[in-house]
């Protein structure tokens, strides 16, 4: 019974995580399709980078755009819990186009996309576990 409940929780978490996923390089319209209307938008900074904040379910999502294309994303849980490994894997699967896989650093919670054009890592920011992804 315990394993049955655990597998249900895992499936629900994975399906929810994939529903909040958008790909690095998506435009603002595609990001809005995945995450909804931003709860906060900022004007472009001196480098031309615009930062929008979205909330989808239990996640606060910060997306940075350059020339209307996403160049970085961060995910933070509203409840401040740690991300599960299955959840992180689901996020990464949603961040790649089919030909791009992620390689995990065996010593850290860091990944690099196989084409070396993006990286992802976990970090605690302001006391909250955060999953970050950026193009390189």
pLDDT interval class at 67 (50, 70, 90): very high
State pTM to two decimals.
0.78
Location of structure tokens 């186009």 = 97
Of the listed ranges 70-84, 89-103, 114-128, the least confidently predicted one is 89-103
Average pLDDT, the chain: 83
pLDDT interval class at 87 (50, 70, 90): confident
Q: Sheet containing 40-41: give its strands across.
A: 40-41, 49-56, 59-66, 69-77, 128-135, 118-125, 110-113, 102-104
15-24, 47-56, 83-92, range with greatest mean pLDDT: 47-56
């Amino acid at each position: 019974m315990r394993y049955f409940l655990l597998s249900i929780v895992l499936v629900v978490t994975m399906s929810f995580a994939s529903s909040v996923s958008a790909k690095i390089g998506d435009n603002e319209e595609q990001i809005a399709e995945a995450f909804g209307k931003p709860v906060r938008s900022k004007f472009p900074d001196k480098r031309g980078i615009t930062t929008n904040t979205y909330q989808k379910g239990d996640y606060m999502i910060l997306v940075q755009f350059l020339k209307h294309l996403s160049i970085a994303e961060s995910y933070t849980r509203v409840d401040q819990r740690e991300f599960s490994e299955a959840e992180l894997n689901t996020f990464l699967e949603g961040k790649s186009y089919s030909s791009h896989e992620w390689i995990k650093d065996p010593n850290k919670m860091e990944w690099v996309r196989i084409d070396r054009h993006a990286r992802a890592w976990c970090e605690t920011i302001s006391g909250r576990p955060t999953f970050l992804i950026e193009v390189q």
